[in-house]
């Protein structure tokens, strides 16, 4: 059968759940990731899934798409008990997932990624029919209002555009199966701008007409806006659910951590006396591929945030200050001395730290241990000459594991086994262990983190600022920038535009910033 022909979904009685999970259990060494999870997804429902980092969400989702085999428990799809042994097996049962970490092949085109494994008429006698391939991909991109060129190489696309390709790819399941699909969206909005988020929400609502959706996001306001019902996990267990009608984020937060928490997750401290200090970082006329003539000053103990729409150039400015992007002009000084921008090694030696946006790709080495990741940038904290001294490494690593409350079975555990929040703490600790960081560059440091983990990152940022570290923050939202920054500068089309002060008691509103961004 031509896989591009849409079949009428097989009829299933409306009272039969699209997906049901009973008593799912999964152990890892030293960790009980799932502890008897129960979950029901009704037909044509958008079910939100909430929980702190480490609550078991990722393990549950991987079990549903055949990447993890549970130790016990049952999975039912449209009333039929199934064993999901692979992603292909899950797809054959109509289950597809947009992964938070992204699963695209970077050296293929967007079109090839979208139809990968279900090329159908796009392939004849082993060769691509590029016109047909483009048409098949364009059909999916049109569903989400994307203007991406289907024949663009994936590795040339921005993170946000790659996320849109991921969504288009999973929508192909509508053509691959003759059953109403179950589509899982894992943090689909984490890198999207507000307009793109609204486009996605429109698509999610359309999906409800012919599919069932599991929507996972740490942004609780989004969960309540787009979902019909929200199920909450805590400590690997199902702790309850709530209908979204009339619910507020505090209701979910209370279920996630067992308390109401605080509405002020930024923990604003007393204003630090930084205004009279000489600038620690001075940037003049910095120019690169996507930005030009950038001037910045950041004082010791100050948090400066750069905001801007997608494509404003702010990410590349941040990376260039760490020597990770080439610059063609400009001068940068740190504490009065010229900062070498020729490479990341020189930046580290000068006391510059960098937490990248793509944590799993650039921020950590997954198979390496927590200890080795934590000491990766400052070998001197664990070495004597050319040799690693285990006792020396153990002492410093254990101290920071305790201080940052990093949840890990032990220091030797592979970092990829930790939750996203704990991974981020390890990445941050990398720049704290040596105690010589003068400038910290934070590119979306709370992306994909839950409320509790974000609050921990905010606390660390405040502590570092109080100790005198100058911080450049690319925030995950305008609210985060306003809540954390002492000053905000706005970038547009590669240039610095407005500068906005953020004193305690006189913070701007998101609307104030948006007016400067457009």
Number of domains in the chain: 2
Cα–Cα distance measured from residue 384 to residue 471, given in angstroms and rounded to the nearest whole number: 31
Domain assignment present for residue 236? The answer is yes
pLDDT of residue 2: 42
Local confidence pLDDT in tens for the 518 residues of the chain: 344 444 445 567 778 999 999 999 998 766 788 999 999 999 999 999 998 777 889 899 999 999 999 999 999 999 999 999 998 899 889 898 987 766 789 999 999 999 887 777 877 777 878 888 889 899 888 877 788 999 999 999 877 788 788 888 887 877 766 678 899 998 887 767 677 788 788 878 878 887 899 999 888 888 999 999 999 998 899 999 999 998 888 888 888 876 544 445 665 554 555 556 789 999 999 999 999 999 999 999 999 999 987 778 999 999 999 999 999 999 999 999 999 999 999 999 999 999 998 888 888 999 999 999 998 887 777 777 777 777 888 888 998 898 888 888 899 999 998 887 888 889 988 888 877 899 999 999 988 777 777 888 898 899 889 989 999 999 988 888 999 999 999 998 899 988 998 888 788 888 788 777 76
Domain assignment present for residue 269? The answer is no
The CATH number of whichever domain residue 489 belongs to comes to 3.40.50.300
210 and 311 inside one domain: no
Domain assignment present for residue 267? The answer is no
327 and 229 inside one domain: no
pLDDT of residue 58: 87
pLDDT of residue 1: 38
Taking phi over 0 as left and psi of -120 to 50 as alpha, with beta for the rest, 246 belongs to: left
Cα–Cα distance measured from residue 93 to residue 116, given in angstroms and rounded to the nearest whole number: 17
At 326, list the tokens: 């080439």
Can you give the length of the chain in residues?
Answer: 518
181 and 80 inside one domain: yes
387 and 252 inside one domain: no
Is this model's pTM higher than 0.85 or not?
no
Cα–Cα distance measured from residue 19 to residue 408, given in angstroms and rounded to the nearest whole number: 32
| β-pairing verdict for 123-124 and 95-98 | unpaired
Cα–Cα distance measured from residue 70 to residue 76, given in angstroms and rounded to the nearest whole number: 14
Provide the domain limits for residue 79.
24-257
């Amino acid at each position: 059968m031509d896989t591009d022909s849409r079949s009428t979904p097989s009829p299933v009685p409306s009272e039969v759940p699209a997906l049901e999970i009973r008593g799912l259990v999964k152990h890892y060494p030293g960790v009980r990731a799932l502890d008897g999870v129960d979950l029901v997804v009704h037909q044509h429902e958008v079910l939100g899934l909430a929980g702190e980092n480490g609550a078991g969400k990722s393990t549950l989702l991987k079990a549903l798409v055949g990447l993890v085999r549970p130790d016990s428990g049952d999975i039912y799809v449209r009333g039929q008990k199934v064993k999901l042994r692979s992603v292909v097996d899950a797809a054959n049962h109509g289950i597809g997932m947009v992964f938070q970490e992204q699963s695209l092949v970077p050296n293929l085109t967007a079109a090839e990624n979208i139809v990968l494994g279900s090329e159908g008429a796009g392939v004849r006698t082993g060769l691509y029919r590029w016109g047909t391939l483009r048409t098949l991909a364009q059909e999916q991109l049109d569903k989400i209002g994307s203007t991406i060129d289907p024949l663009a190489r994936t590795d040339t696309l921005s993170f946000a555009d790659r996320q849109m390709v991921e969504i288009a790819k999973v929508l192909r399941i509508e053509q691959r199966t003759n059953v109403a699909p179950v589509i899982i969206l894992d943090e689909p909005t984490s890198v999207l701008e507000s307009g793109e988020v609204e486009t996605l929400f429109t698509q999610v609502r359309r999906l409800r007409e012919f599919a069932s959706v599991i929507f996972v996001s740490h942004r609780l306001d989004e969960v309540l806006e787009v979902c019909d019902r929200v199920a909450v996990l805590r400590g690997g267990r199902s702790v309850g659910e709530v209908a979204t009608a009339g619910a507020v984020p505090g209701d979910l937060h209370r279920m996630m951590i067992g308390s109401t928490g605080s509405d002020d997750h930024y923990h604003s401290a007393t204003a630090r006396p930084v205004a009279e200090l000489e600038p620690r970082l001075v940037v003049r006329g910095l120019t690169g591929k996507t930005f030009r003539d950038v001037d910045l000053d950041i004082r010791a103990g100050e948090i400066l945030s750069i905001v801007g729409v997608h494509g404003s150039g702010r990410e590349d400015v941040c990376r260039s200050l760490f020597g990770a992007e080439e610059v063609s002009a400009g001068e940068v000084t740190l504490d009065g001395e010229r900062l070498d921008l020729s490479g990341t090694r020189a930046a580290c030696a000068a006391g510059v730290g960098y937490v990248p946006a793509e944590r799993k790709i650039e921020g950590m080495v997954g198979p390496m241990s927590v200890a080795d990741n934590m000491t990766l940038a400052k070998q001197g904290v664990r070495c004597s000459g050319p040799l690693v001294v285990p006792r020396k490494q153990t002492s410093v690593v254990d101290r920071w594991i305790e201080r940052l409350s990093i949840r890990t079975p032990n220091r030797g555990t592979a970092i990829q086994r930790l939750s996203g929040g704990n991974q981020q703490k390890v990445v941050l600790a990398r720049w704290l262990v040596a105690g010589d960081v003068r400038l910290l560059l934070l590119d979306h440091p709370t992306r994909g983190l839950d409320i509790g983990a974000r609050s921990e990152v905010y606390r660390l940022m405040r502590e570092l600022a109080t100790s005198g570290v100058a911080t450049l923050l690319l925030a995950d939202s305008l609210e985060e920038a306003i809540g954390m920054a002492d000053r905000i500068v706005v970038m547009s089309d590669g240039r610095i535009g407005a500068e906005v002060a953020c004193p305690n008691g006189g913070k701007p509103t998101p609307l104030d910033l948006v007016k400067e961004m457009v």
